[in-house]
Amino acid sequence: MTAITVGNETRPGSRAVAKYVRSSAYKAREVLDLVRGKSYSEAREILTFSERRISDTIAKCLDSAVANAEHNDELDGEELFVAACYADEGPTLKRWRPRARGRATRIRKRTCHITVVVARYTDEELAAIDARMALKGTGRRSSAAEARRRRVAASRERDAARAEEQELEDDHEHDEDALEEFEGDLEDQMDEAEDEPAASDEQDDDEEDEAVAEDEAVASDAADEDEEKES
């Protein structure tokens, strides 16, 4: 465990070192200045959305320091902050690039050693942080993994709600189609019912005509018989 001096206090801290990083110390220091003094969750968020390539290496070094604090010193990652971070010059690789007219230009490939030290907030500082979070209506800032889990759970709930709404819409459309089909069948049955009386009326008229014709035939036959008898 490393002793870290923060202000006028000396606190125990955990450190992690990334050596021989293929980047200049100047570029690494620009990113380290952004996370110095930040809590672990805030520093991890800054490094995640940083556009500098060296941010990935610094994020790995920060995660390693927090892991050392959790496993070796039994500290809670949510109670840690970046107490110190710095980049030292490493060996420089000399290379040569051919230029015009037989000349050559030296290429310096810089390296650096990145060190990140995390320490635990004091109880008073943690109480003040909790009070600020309570005023904002939220609890203590959780880790990135927990925030990611909450986002995934919320996204799944939204997807399930959309699927349920789509299913209800499909059922409603199906019911409307069935109702339209039933109404169409009912109209067809009513049309058939209207056509049947007309056909029966025509049949009755034909039967009456046949009966009249038979009566006339019988009457003519009777008249013929009477004439024959008289003659």
**Is position 187 within any domain?**
no
- Please give the pLDDT value at position 62: 95
| Structural domain includes residue 110 | yes
- The arithmetic mean of pLDDT across residues 160-175, rounded, is 82
135 is in which domain, residue-wise?
2-142
Among 79, 118, 77, 111, which Cα is nearest to 94's? 111
Geometric angle at alpha carbon 183, from 178 and 187, rounded to 5°:
150
Which pLDDT value is given to residue 75? 85
Q: What is the pLDDT of residues 79-113, one digit of tens each?
A: 899 999 999 999 999 999 999 999 999 999 999 99
Least confident of 26-30, 136-140, 166-170: 136-140
More confident residue, 88 or 229: 88
Residue 32 lies in a domain: yes
Q: What integer best gives the mean pLDDT of the chain?
A: 82
* Domains held by the chain: number: 1
DSSP string, 157-202: HHHHHHHHHHHHHHHHHHHHHHHHHHHHHHHHHHHHHHHHHHHHHH
Residues 80 and 100: beta-carbon distance below 8 Å: no
Model pLDDT for residues 51-83, shown as the tens digit of each residue: 999 999 999 999 999 999 989 888 888 889 999
The CATH number of the domain holding residue 50 is: 3.90.470.10
Residue 162 lies in a domain: no
pLDDT at 45 over 70: yes
Question: Is 137 a member of any domain?
Answer: yes
Q: With pLDDT > 70 as the criterion, what percentage of the chain qualifies?
A: 75
Q: Is residue 81 part of a domain?
A: yes
Range name among 31-35, 61-65, 148-152, 185-189 with the lowest pLDDT average: 148-152
Exposed/middle/buried for residue 196 (C-beta within 10 Å: 0-12, 13-18, 19+): exposed
pLDDT at res. 26 = 96
Residue 203 has pLDDT above 70, yes or no: no
Q: Quick check: is 138 in a domain?
A: yes
Residue 10 belongs to a domain: yes
Query: Which tokens sit at 13?
Result: 């801290």
